[in-house]
Amino acid sequence: MAPRILRLGSDDKPVAFAAGFVLLILLIGTGYTLYTQGSAPLLQPQYLLQQLQVGSFLGIVAAGLMVVILLGHIDLSVPWTLTAAAMMATAVGGPWAIPAGIGVGLLVGIFNGLGVAYLRVPSMIFTLGMNAVMRGLMVAHTGGFAPQTAATDLMQYLAVARIGGMIPVALLVWLAVSVTVVAILTRTTLGRGIYAIGNRERAAYLSGIDTNRVILIAFALSGAAAGLAGVLLAGYSTKAYQGMGDAYLLPAIAAVVIGGTNILGGRGRYLGTLVGVILIVLLNSVLSIMQMPEAGRQIIYGCVIISMLLVYGRGGRVTG
């Protein structure tokens, strides 16, 4: 019997490409640290777990953002949604801190969904406007200074604690979010509606899908994910601060796009986004070891997004 040849499907190629890129980053980072420091921290389990712990905040943001991108839309309100959630969580304190933070993100997401789905404002414009609104509200709330309120013990536990001294709790929170997103996208009518709208919204509407409702829920999920990430990040930092979400938008978009999700919507798998997040985390780690300034990192993220658009964007949308 002739051996079977393993062929990658169109959805598997971006994941395989991103996984190969992860290995390349590991090789470059390991080689660089061995040459300059005589050691290879990237290969140490404790170091990798620490990086994934910090990367879990990005992973949660990317999970919510992927749902919106699958629609063919974008959510640019993530930075100050995350910041506002962190500030409100620390301001409320007590047992209501985490619900308050997630609630802020959910509320912003609902407003975004209403503006995009029912007012028919382009998502790029509406969410960018909401980002500016949230920034103004938080500056007014704090007077432009860093809030003096601290994160609760539970927020800090979820962000920095480790089970058995090994497994970060934040990683488990990211895992729970990942399982939820995968279940929504693959096991529910909402998930099928998201892919259908991303392929062709008009056809989805004519087939009986309540497109406005699906868009509203997708933006609400993105906002809630940003809110949860803000709560965890405040717990990790022990407090909230101005602009704490600014560093997460470009890397989150890059992670989603690197993972093969079509920026025009309709195509993408969460596994690809997961690999994309790990790639960004490792890339960020290598750049930190190389002492790359933040400006240089942003340039690299932007170039990665443009490159992936050129690589994947030519395939167009899925029509079948």
Q: What pLDDT digit, counting tens, does each position of 262-312 carry?
A: 888 888 889 889 988 988 888 777 777 777 777 777 787 777 777 766 766
Percent of the chain with pLDDT over 70: 82
Whole-number pLDDT of residue 4:
45
Whole-number pLDDT of residue 196:
95
What is the CA angle 8-198-283, rounded to 5? 55
Whole-number pLDDT of residue 16:
56
Which residues 6+ apart lie within 8 Å of 196 measured at CB? 203, 204, 207, 209, 266
Binned at pLDDT 50, 70 and 90, residue 317 comes out as very low
With beta carbons less than 8 A apart as the criterion, state whether 151 and 89 touch.
Answer: yes
Taking residues 241-266, report their average pLDDT. Answer: 88
pLDDT tens readout for residues 44-97 = 777 778 888 989 999 999 999 999 999 999 999 999 999 999 999 999 988 999
What is the CA angle 113-118-120, rounded to 5? 95
C-alpha 102/C-alpha 79 separation (Å) is 14
Q: Which residue has the higher pLDDT, 245 or 31?
A: 245
Q: Of 174, 184, 64, which is closest to residue 113 (Cα–Cα)?
A: 64
Average pLDDT, the chain: 84
With beta carbons less than 8 A apart as the criterion, state whether 67 and 258 touch.
Answer: no
E strands in the chain = 162-163, 167-168
C-alpha 87/C-alpha 148 separation (Å) is 10
Whole-number pLDDT of residue 232:
96
Residue 167 bridge partners (DSSP): 163
What is the residue whose two structure tokens read 């803000």? 230
Whole-number pLDDT of residue 318:
41
Long-range CB contact pairs, 294-303, < 8 A, 24+? 294/247, 298/250, 301/250, 301/251, 301/254, 302/250
Residue 49 bridge partners (DSSP): none
Whole-number pLDDT of residue 319:
36
Whole-number pLDDT of residue 10:
52
DSSP notation for 116-161: IIIS---HHHHHHHHHHHHHHHHHHHHTTS----B--HHHHHHHH-
Taking residues 126-154, report their average pLDDT. Answer: 90
Find the length of the chain.
320
Whole-number pLDDT of residue 33:
58
Q: Of 13, 157, 155, which is closest to residue 89 (Cα–Cα)?
A: 155
Binned at pLDDT 50, 70 and 90, residue 39 comes out as low
Question: Number of C-alpha atoms within 13 angstroms, CB side, residue 302?
Answer: 7
CB atoms within 10 A of CB 6: 6
Question: How far from each other are the two terminal CA atoms of the chain, in whole angstroms?
Answer: 34
Taking residues 209-217, report their average pLDDT. Answer: 96
What pTM did the predictor assign?
0.87
Three-class DSSP category at 207: coil
